[in-house]
Amino acid sequence: MQKYKKILLALTLIFVFLIVYSPHQDYKFPYHVDEWHHITEAIKLKQGQYAGGITGYRIGFHILLVALSYFIDLVLSYQFLPAIWAAISALVLFHITNKLTKNYWIALFAAIFFASIKSNVNFTGLWFFTPLTFAIPLIYLSIYFFTQGLEKENKKYIIASLAIMLSLIFIHSISLLFAIPFLTIYALTKHQYLKKEWKFFSLFLLIPILGLLFYSFMTSIPLSNAFSRLLSALKFRKEWGVFIWNNSFLELYSFIGYALAIIGTVGILAFEKSRKKYLPYILWPIAMLISIYIYKQTGTSYLTPYQRNLYYFAISLPLLSALGLHYTLNSIKTQIKKLTENENKIKLIKKTTFIVLLIIVFILTFQSYYETPEPLKLYRVIEQNDYEAMMFLSNYPQSTVMAHFTPSTAIYPVSGHKPVGTIVFYGNRGDTEKFFESSDCKTKQEILNKHNASFVLSSFPINCSWELIYEKENYIYKIK
């Protein structure tokens, strides 16, 4: 690769980092409750207090956070992890696209379109470091190695794909499940190779076997009942998740990105001689659209939740959008050559047109990047004053703390104390609401006694007979 191309790639990755990091410019803590949840579970895993159960489905991700915790403060450094991982994901996509297309510019455009995928608190996204976003480069790599392995009859590629797929079981299993339908369809187009090497491909039975064993172990369901229970668990209805929201496709990706993806798909079918190698990347979005349509019609999403299918659809598009831009530029170049035979004029018109068009596409791609529906906007779990109060509590032996359910989400990761109830995942949110809504000290004390709470953390003074031990924007009371 030429030096200037390396520089352009580096600048693109820096851009990816900066645009994904930008929501954190004035906020240094994790945004999403899921991020706090995973920090909590990583700390518990490190201390031998891991919850397991449904939480254990992400144990691979929690192990990663435990490893990172030996080098960084997870709470204060987490703000950088989404942007770092987004840049790594963009780099992986660049290399895969470059290998597929043998075209540096298409690969570079794919990385830029990848950066334009939007985020919100419903389907999460690149702004947050979660098992879903951690799985993104693994998804790209597993699909690439699997399909190229079949295309080239390369067993090393196929084994690499299988290894990644098996790892996804422990990191984010639905990031493996969503791809099964379209990868199966693609594999059937290579049925002669499958038939010839059926013993080798029987290795893929490890995926359902290991997945079933893992599910049985984490849920403590006997293996004899695990299969039927797992099939039932893989039917995701409208009640799944915290938000029930009628998502728009423009919440995920720009209109110009969609338009170019359509052009890219048509261009592959119309112009590419080796169009078969792009078949998986056409089947991918089609499979997601079919899953989304089934959910819209039946209210049930199979294998993976509707919100996740939307996101898997979005991450399938940057390659197609980049190809669409490439075909558009080639078409314009052909039209320019028809205008004049003067080579100098052709070069000048081409450069000017390309620069203007690329600027317009870039603006249209990112102009609505920060627009999210009001209910799905970013929220702050804690502020600096909350963090300082919780750090004060960290000087005391572990106990239970009563605080409003929103800052309570950060109490364990910051202070090591147990909250009475958080937004989701832990404790009794109802009792925290009842505590702060009540003006009666007797009722408050009864709730504290019920949960054996030793401290109360409040953003306003509470006139009950407790010892005030901290008074700096927040108030901390010690309960005897």
Nearest Cα to 457, choosing from 449, 209, 181, 448? 448
Model confidence at 201, pLDDT cuts 50, 70, 90, reads very high
pLDDT value of position 240: 64
Q: What is the pLDDT of residues 95-122, one digit of tens each?
A: 999 999 999 999 999 999 999 999 998 8
For residue 237, give Cα distances in angstroms to 303, 304, 307, 312, 383.
11, 10, 11, 18, 35
Q: Which residue has the higher pLDDT, 337 or 71?
A: 71
Beta bridge partners of 472: 474
Round to whole Å and give the CA distance between 426 and 417: 13
For residue 16, give Cα distances in angstroms to 12, 133, 142, 273.
6, 14, 22, 32
Model confidence at 155, pLDDT cuts 50, 70, 90, reads very high
Q: Are 327 and 264 in contact (CB under 8 A)?
A: yes
The chain-wide mean pLDDT, for the chain, equals 92
Q: What is the pLDDT of residues 213-255, one digit of tens each?
A: 998 888 888 888 888 888 888 888 876 665 666 778 889 999 9
pLDDT value of position 223: 84
pTM (predicted TM-score): 0.93
Round to whole Å and give the CA distance between 197 and 149: 13
Per DSSP, helices labelled H in 367-452 are 384-393, 405-415, 429-437, 441-451
Domains of the chain with bracketed CATH: 3-196+234-366 (no CATH), 384-478 (3.40.50.12610)
b or e along 156-173 (b: 16 or more beta carbons within 10 Å of the residue's beta carbon)?
ebbebbbebbbebbbbbb
b or e along 319-335 (b: 16 or more beta carbons within 10 Å of the residue's beta carbon)?
bbbbbbbbbbbeeeeee
Q: What is the pLDDT of residues 43-85, one digit of tens each?
A: 999 998 887 777 778 999 999 999 999 999 999 999 999 999 9
Encode 159-174 in three state secondary structure.
HHHHHHHHHHHHHCCH
Other CB atoms within a 10 A radius of the CB of residue 115 amount to 25
Round to whole Å and give the CA distance between 282 and 324: 13
Q: Regarding beta strands 455-458 and 400-402, do their DSSP bridges make them parallel or antiparallel, or are they unpaired?
A: parallel
